[in-house]
């Protein structure tokens, strides 16, 4: 079982009205096999991830996923639930997941929810699913499932990427009022509304002052990104990798 590709759907989509990560997973040697085909696998997996006992799955009540696991379910679905459990462990609270076949044997799209204001280019969802696959394969082999070191790294990444308290409070208050909110990359810069009604908020500042404009113009990469998103042609750029000759 391995990841082939992954992509982020930033807004409402055919799965749910929140951002999701869609990851193409290939089952390889596990194609057509179910969790019930491996004696003791379900018990080992639940022992490694006790929080799985609280997952509802299609039964709509705690313990639903474990019932599926014992009765037999495909391994893409199993990895999906473990990834959601790992996300909860690092404080990244999401609940929605879905696994769909692509029509090709052994090929599935694993869909996992992402926090509303997580940067669109964040690799956390894919990294969590990759770690989940590692844990599932270890449990299949009867090996100890060890993931705390990797989780500590991902927890640190999540803490760095998530919105600060002020930014999160502004985003929550806007959504309570029905105002569309989009975070710009990993910054504390928020877009509120669309078109002529759009406003920018950066920390405790709004675009009713010139301060935000000055901050944006002072950041070449951010300026280039915003112009490109608005459809304005801009030259590509990047950090220099060599120094000029003396």
Selected residue with higher pLDDT from 43 and 185: 43
Tell me the β-bridge partners of 190. Answer: 183, 201
Mean pLDDT of 112-120: 92
pLDDT at position 204 over 80: no
C-alpha pair distances (Å), 102 with each of 75, 106, 107, 128:
15, 9, 6, 22
Q: Where are the alpha helices (DSSP H) in the chain?
A: 41-48, 64-71, 75-89, 124-141, 148-161, 165-176, 211-217, 220-229
- 246 pLDDT higher than 70: no
At residue 85, the pLDDT reads 97
* CA 151 – CA 37 distance, rounded (Å): 29
How confident is the model over 53-81, as pLDDT tens digits? Answer: 999 988 888 999 999 999 999 999 999 99
154 has a pLDDT exceeding 70: yes
pLDDT (mean) for 156-160: 95
Q: pLDDT at residue 194 above 90? A: no
Q: Is the pLDDT of residue 47 over 80?
A: yes
Its pTM surpasses 0.75: yes
Convert the pLDDT of each residue in 13-36 to its tens digit.
999 999 999 999 999 999 999 999
Between 80 and 221, where is the model more confident?
80
pLDDT on residue 175 = 93
Least confident among 59-68, 128-137, 236-245: 236-245
Rounded to the nearest integer, the mean pLDDT of the chain is: 91
d(CA 138, CA 48): 10
Lowest mean pLDDT among 10-19, 40-49, 131-140: 10-19
pLDDT of residue 41: 96
């Amino acid at each position: 079982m391995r990841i082939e590709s992954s992509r982020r759907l930033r807004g409402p989509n055919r799965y749910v009205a929140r951002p999701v990560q869609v990851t193409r997973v290939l089952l390889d040697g596990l194609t057509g096999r179910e969790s019930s085909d491996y004696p003791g696998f379900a018990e080992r997996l639940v022992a490694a991830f006790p929080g799985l006992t609280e997952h509802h799955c299609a039964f709509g009540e705690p313990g639903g996923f474990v019932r599926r696991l014992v009765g037999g379910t495909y391994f893409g679905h199993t990895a999906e639930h473990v990834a959601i459990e790992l996300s909860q462990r690092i404080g990244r609270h999401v609940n929605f997941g879905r696994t769909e076949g692509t029509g090709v044997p052994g090929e599935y799209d694993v869909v996992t929810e992402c926090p509303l204001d997580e940067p669109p280019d964040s690799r956390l969802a894919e990294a969590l699913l990759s770690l989940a696959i590692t844990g599932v394969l270890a449990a299949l082999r009867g090996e100890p499932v060890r993931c705390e070191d990797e989780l500590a790294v991902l927890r640190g990444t999540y803490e760095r990427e998530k919105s600060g308290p002020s930014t999160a409070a502004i985003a929550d208050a806007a959504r309570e009022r029905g105002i569309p909110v989009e975070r710009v990359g990993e910054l504390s810069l928020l877009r509120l509304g669309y078109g002529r009604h759009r406003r920018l908020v950066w920390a405790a500042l709004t675009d009713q002052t010139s301060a935000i404009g000055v901050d944006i113009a002072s950041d070449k990469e951010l300026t280039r990104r915003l112009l490109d998103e608005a459809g304005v042609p801009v030259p590509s750029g990047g950090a220099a990798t060599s120094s000029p000759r003396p």
